[in-house]
Amino acid sequence: MHLRIALFLLLCYGCQTPDPAAAPTTQPPAPLTFTPLAYADSASLLGDSMPYRRMYVETLVASGGDPVLRDTLNALITRQLLDRMPSPDSTLEELLHTSVQQSLTAYTSQEVDAQAVRESPYQYVHMDDHRTVVEYQSDSLYVLAHNHAFYSGGAHGMYYTVLLTVATDPVRHLRLTDVFKPGTEAALSKLLTARTKAPGVAYTTFEDTIPATENFALLPDGMRFLYPPYEIGPYAAGEIAIELPYDELRPLLRTSMLPLIDRFR
């Protein structure tokens, strides 16, 4: 009798519908996002308002998402800001603080002729501006643009923008050799040169032949090659951006790049 009751209860328990709320759930990973990070400080050389050293940073910190992608993006940003790799023991803000304070200390500790400084203060002014933005992002591609403007005396300051293109599958910082077939350097240079000489295109360059640069980005409308002042043109021309459509580039691209490019269509 007791055995029959036990079997009956066991069968009834097995027929019960499981409670979905009681079942363990797997939370989807948080999407990758960028958090703004700003840092600024300055110091005076003689304790007056002029001259001074000023440092300003307006950048981004990636969080969430695929850890390999996140770490790759943060490493590229850190390298542009500090010319070093991230530290597992310090945040980017802590690394920035240390780097800026060391730079300001070195500036204020230099031995100078106070009279000469007061007669020509602008020759002793130092300024550094760093700004990082997301130029483009999708499930398959991230493009960051990091601008560095600086002045350290002289007739004018200097600036340049570094383009950082990161593919997500697999995660890697793309270089020219990742994008183009071997042996296509001359053909690519020919396309770039022709673009600067096309009718109705206003490029001021002092190079007869434009070489390809590692400073490029894959964007929806085409591939952008960006040259800082003085690299292929005068300072007055500023940064020179040459855009090439994918239809022209397609014969030169590696087969592995075609699915990535075709997603722009």
Which segment, 8-12, 15-19, 117-121, 166-170, is predicted with the most confidence on average? 166-170
- Spell out the residues 6+ positions from residue 180 whose beta carbon is closer than 8 angstroms to its own: 188, 252, 253, 254
Q: What are the tens digits of pLDDT across the range 77-87?
A: 999 999 888 88
- pLDDT of residue 11 exceeding 50, the answer is no
User: Read out DSSP for 137-164?
Assistant: E-SSEEEEEEEEEEE-SSS--EEEEEEE
Tokens of 150: 């600086």
Alpha-carbon distance of 84 to 72, in angstroms, equals 13
What does DSSP assign to residue 111? Answer: -
Q: What is the pLDDT of residue 1?
A: 45
- Containing H/E element for 38? strand 33-44
Q: What is the pLDDT of residue 47?
A: 83
- pLDDT of residue 218 exceeding 90, the answer is yes
What does DSSP assign to residue 253? Answer: B
**Alpha helices, DSSP H, located in 62-184:** 67-82, 92-108, 114-119, 176-179
Q: What are the tens digits of pLDDT across the range 22-76?
A: 555 666 667 999 999 999 999 999 887 788 999 999 999 999 999 999 999 999 9
**Confidence grade of residue 5 (pLDDT, cut at 50, 70, 90):** very low
Alpha-carbon distance of 89 to 85, in angstroms, equals 12
Domains and CATH numbers, the chain: 28-173 (3.30.565.40), 175-265 (3.90.640.20)
Which 3 state secondary structure label does DSSP give 22? helix
